[in-house]
Amino acid sequence: MSHYKVIARKYRPQNFADVVGHDLTKQIIQNAIKSQKLSQALILTGIRGIGKTTLARIIAKSLACTERVDAAEACNQCNSCKLFDEGRHNDILEMDAASNTGVDDVRSIIDSVGYRPVHGAKKVYVIDEVHMLSRNAFNALLKTLEEPPEHVCFVFATTEIHKVPDTVLSRCLRINLQPFPLKAIATHLKNVCVQEDIHITDEALDVLARAGQGSMRDAMSLLEQMRPLSFDGTTIEASHVRDMLGVLDPSTVADLFESLQHQNRHNALTTANELLRQGVSGENIITLLLELTHTHIMQQAQASEPVANLPSEVVLQRYWSILVKALQELKTTPFERESLNVALLRLMFAGDISHQPTASTAGGEKKNQLTIPETCESFPQLLDILRQQNKLVLASNLKHYARVETFQHGAMDVHFSDKAPKDMKRQLEAALKELFNDAWQIKVLETSAAHSIKEEQDLKQKQLLESAKKHPLVKKILEAFPGSSVTIQ
């Protein structure tokens, strides 16, 4: 059985020439190495999977090489190069700060710094994820960084440069590695596929490169996952990759967008939920809608007159803000489906300008919906009208404390109980004037034999209770359970 090596490891660059992209950075480093003017401390930074550690190791090998003359590349022949390739070079120390964060781990480095290299031209310390070192560990290292012996070089790598203390940063040559452009990733993947005899379409490569999000390593490991498909000679298609990644097909996004535009709720929600079921993430759906919205905004902005089959620019701008907000929400919410659905409904709402209330009409419309009758036939009807017009406190006070003797449209004789607000009459008059655009004659009586509506209700309740207590069955129960009481629900 042949020895199988994963693609990412097999194609890991072994020298500067093999490194894909980062051209300017490579040139700077190579020139510095060639002219013996490389800083004794370097820090490589950038997102994961863009070759920081790989580059750090190439630099280390090159610096340690004893036969390197007037060149930046290691010779690959000398004892130092061979030992490095075999992974047993005593002068090149690789440490992962993620698992060695303490001051003791750093101490072993500091203690060995004073000794001259045994096999290589230099002693090189490669510390990966250096930001993980503890504060004390950084402090311990600082002294050595200030005045490193001439035969020593430090190469740090980090994804989180802001976590590295300034005191350390100020002593390092900082090298920012940029994420790989899509094209660079796709081209590299294509080269690998040719060499490995993997049949794959350009579109599939593009989907893989996109999914890598600037990280070559991520893209390579995705290719690794797809690879078995090609073992029987199958050509890997974009649809295969999308299926595996749960990536949305652009035509589906266009369909979804159209449903949103035409406010076809059923279609939009069904499509979105079906996509979630297939494993496409809500973030993915929103991101692609954002991209499409941006494209349409640009189309509208650049057209001499509005593009007819697209939402207007104003609506598209609204889409944009809703989608940006939704994307932020989806990154943190545990309710993916719910958040997505609400975002889609908002989008459909945003498209309908007639649904957008304006400050001047919002209140007025509401009032006009409930028409006030020309004449009010009874006191209970008056209370209903007051409630409809949101005069709830007045309606409630009247219900409790107004004992109405006579009522007709335009006039009433009424007695207010002691608990009524002092200016009840004035409040009522003002409300009636507003509602009917007419002054009512309100005569306030000193006493009254009438009841307020609330008193009337209480009385009825009491009578019901009394008659219930007289019912033979209830009587028996009350006798059987002394001390129990009767209530009416």
Pairing status of strand 152-158 against strand 41-45 = parallel
**For Zn ion, the closer CB: 7 or 78:** 78
The residue within the footprint of Zn ion, chosen from 55, 81, 140, 193 (CB under 5 A), is 81
The interface region with Zn ion, picked from 78-86, 168-176, 209-217, 331-339 by CB under 5 A, is 78-86
Beta bridge partners of 200: 236
Q: Give me the least distance between CB of 86 and Zn ion, in Å please.
A: 13
The yes or no reply on residue 153 touching Zn ion (CB under 5 A) is no
The residue within the footprint of Zn ion, chosen from 75, 110, 442, 465 (CB under 5 A), is 75
Question: Minimal CA–CA distance to 198: which of 141, 242, 248, 236?
Answer: 236
The interface region with Zn ion, picked from 9-17, 77-85, 287-295, 354-362 by CB under 5 A, is 77-85
Amino acid making up residue 428 = L
The yes or no reply on residue 193 touching Zn ion (CB under 5 A) is no
Distances (CA, A) of 422 to 176, 416, 418, 445: 77, 9, 9, 14
**For Zn ion, the closer CB: 67 or 206:** 67
Cα(317)–Cα(301) distance, integer angstroms: 11
Count of chain residues binding Zn ion (CB under 5 A): 6
Distances (CA, A) of 51 to 9, 21, 256, 461: 12, 10, 38, 83
| Coil, strand or helix at 278 | coil
Q: What's the token pair of residue 15? A: 């020298």
Amino acid making up residue 334 = P
**For Zn ion, the closer CB: 73 or 105:** 73
Q: Give me the least distance between CB of 241 and Zn ion, in Å please.
A: 41
Cα(15)–Cα(55) distance, integer angstroms: 8
Beta bridge partners of 44: 157, 175
* Contact letters for Zn ion, residues 17-56 (x by CB under 5 A): ----------------------------------------
The yes or no reply on residue 65 touching Zn ion (CB under 5 A) is yes
The yes or no reply on residue 137 touching Zn ion (CB under 5 A) is no
Amino acid making up residue 270 = T
The interface region with Zn ion, picked from 65-73, 106-114, 160-168, 395-403 by CB under 5 A, is 65-73
Phi and psi, residue 383, nearest 5°: -60, -40
The yes or no reply on residue 63 touching Zn ion (CB under 5 A) is no
The residue within the footprint of Zn ion, chosen from 78, 241, 343, 412 (CB under 5 A), is 78
The yes or no reply on residue 113 touching Zn ion (CB under 5 A) is no
**For Zn ion, the closer CB: 65 or 420:** 65
| Coil, strand or helix at 231 | helix
The binding site for Zn ion (CB under 5 A) comprises 65, 67, 74-75, 78, 81
